[in-house]
Amino acid sequence: MQIDELIENFELLDDWEDKYRYLIDLGTKLLPLDDKYKTDEWKVVGCQSQVWLVPDLHDSEHLSFCGDSDAAIVKGLMYIVLTLFNGQSKKSVKEIAVSDIFAKMGLEEHLSPSRRNGLNAMVGKIKFYAGC
């Protein structure tokens, strides 16, 4: 799924409950993360729940990540973040306005401060791997 399609899907949903359910559903689409990566080395610091983000370092020009969380809604947020960044060049990472995209989806205003911090931590970790 592309980010434009995600934005359109969220725009079709009228209330937060529907968006919340869709977000949880997106999280179920994440590929399973092998337990060997669920360690402190891959843990995203700054998230209230357990979140792991693992880069594929085989391609020096483009980003690719897999990840997991122990919280359903955070898995959905991760699905969106990975949709935004996977396949992007390292140079283009700086130009992705994550908060604008989440605002278009109607999610920005509904994220609790702790989820917003977790989202920012995930994006920060991705930018770290991109050399930003």
Tell me the C-alpha distance between 70 and 72, whole Å: 7
pTM (two decimals):
0.92
**C-alpha dihedral, 14 to 17 to 76 to 117, nearest 10°:** 100
Q: What is the CA radius of gyration of the chain?
A: 14
Residue 109, pLDDT score? 82
- Domains in the chain, ordered, with CATH? 3-130 (3.90.1010.10)
- What is the pLDDT of the chain when averaged over all its residues? 91
Residue 91, pLDDT score? 87
pLDDT digits (tens, 9 = 90+) for 1-26: 799 999 999 999 988 899 999 999 99
Residue 90, pLDDT score? 87
Q: What is the mean pLDDT of residues 36-59?
A: 90
132 catalytic per annotation? no
Q: Which residue type, as a one-letter code, is found at position 43?
A: K
Tell whether the model's pLDDT for residue 86 goes beyond 90: yes
Residue 62, pLDDT score? 86
Tell whether the model's pLDDT for residue 35 goes beyond 80: yes
Tell whether the model's pLDDT for residue 114 goes beyond 90: no
Beta bridge partners of 62: 89
Catalytic residue among 6, 26, 47, 123: 47
